Structure 1
């Protein structure tokens, strides 16, 4: 008799999630731990990165994932506008194994970009994507999900100011906003270097897209990935991407 594989997920505990090497509390964050952030944190190209920036870090999950994936010499900066979320990200970072190299700033990214003299080899963002006027449950969630506080053209402009010439700017978005961002980025002089279309199930169309832009021209790597197979079990691609983070994998 064939045993069904257990569901693989981080463990919910104390208003947060336990991963293999760290815990993320998110009870004071409008946006909770979710698949989009895990996708970006597990996928973003860290090879050769020297300094990394997470724009709109929320609970700090992506910053923590990138810290786990990079050598001790790599510094991770994270910027978050919401006061409560930034405080929680600071606490999550302080309680992690990488407290000395994750720095969380409670600041508007516009002010951060204007005042910073740093240049980053990797910038990541799980950005807001709903247009203004789409109702959310709370004002905090509205700010986190709506482009009212950070539209994509502005995000691209701030990233361009902070990224070094050979670096990558990576985002995760729903398919339609992702298509729009590709057009915006190319109009602004960016080059699309990575694209992964992500489907929930192998037999369904993609619903999310991972995008990697660079100021430098080069080959574009395009792939497709399903999170689950048709039998609803997690796919090998998803397991390979996330097994360093999920418990019981």
Structure 2
């Protein structure tokens, strides 16, 4: 596997020590997340390489962007990626589990935006690579635990943004409702026009508002991207 950094327009990311490499899901979420409420503080849960936190540092004026990562190699690499960026003074990474972090921070100042590209897989299958399994499997951070903890750390007018498998969408909505969070925007993602829906991008908040549902198609054909997708990620990918 290449040891070269992954270069974006305004930053680059080393990922040679991270179990989960940069993928479309993280870039989608980092570009899709709304900053219309001008968040002063942001939390990226399970930051991995630090990608989403860096994207939000590029896009926002938030004074505080915290990231959380439990896996040691990923944590160290995220710290290095933050330090070499133009926004190192606004980015901070915690090396802790989410439950521990919530317990420590729940009585502190709340976050205006919490964002996560969480571990997806809830199947019994494991790959045998402990770091990769921890990054990918939902038992490392169950969806309900992620939503409940986020509800305790979120400011009154803040929102929680997630990207999850479409198959988990109804589960996420039900869990969020238990903790006083309501969806106000859902974007369902398909690889191509004829492909099944693969992912759901969801924005939750404490206010129950009219739900906006959209669809995003990524490609017309292999490596022939839709204008909608290109517009969304144009500030990041070098070749778009």
Which whole-Å CA distance do the structure 2 matches of 1:26 and 1:68 have between them? 19
Say whether the 8 Å CA contact 1:120–1:167 is kept in structure 2: yes
- The answer to whether residue 78 in structure 2 is matched with residue 89 in structure 1 is yes
Q: After superposition, give the CA deviation of every residue in 1:110-163 in whole Å (9 maximum; x if it has no partner).
A: 111111213111000011121252222411111111122211111111101100
Q: TM-score, normalised by structure 2?
A: 0.94
Asked if residue 178 in structure 1 is aligned to residue 172 in structure 2, the reply is no
The aligned counterpart of 1:64 is 54
Match of 1:46? 35
Q: Structure 2: give runs of 5+ residues left out of the alignment.
A: none
Cα displacement (A) at 1:240: 0.4
Asked whether the equivalents of residues 148 and 176 of structure 2 are also in contact (C-alpha less than 8 Å), the reply is no
Mapped to 2, the partners of 1:178 and 1:57 lie a distance apart of 21
Q: CA separation in 2, counterparts of 1:160 and 1:231?
A: 39
Per-residue CA deviations over 1:152-199 (Å, capped at 9, x if unaligned) read 111111101100111110110111022321222123321011100000
Unaligned runs of 5+ in 1: 1-11
* Aligned partner (choices 103, 126, 138) of residue 129 of structure 2: 138
| C-alpha RMSD of the superposition | 1.6
Please name the residue that 2:99 is paired with: 110
Matches within 5 A, 1:1-249: 14-47=3-36, 48-71=38-61, 73-116=62-105, 117-131=108-122, 133-230=124-221, 233-249=224-240
Q: Structure 2 CA distance, aligned partners of 1:96 and 1:178?
A: 34
CA change 1:239–1:157 in 2 (3 A) is same
- Matched residues, number: 237
Give me the whole-angstrom Cα distance separating, in 2, the residues matched to 1:217 and 1:64. 30
TM-score, with length taken from structure 1: 0.91
Does the 8 Å CA contact 2:151/2:179 hold for their aligned counterparts? no
Describe the SS at the equivalent of 1:208.
Answer: strand
The 3-state SS of whatever aligns with 2:224 is coil
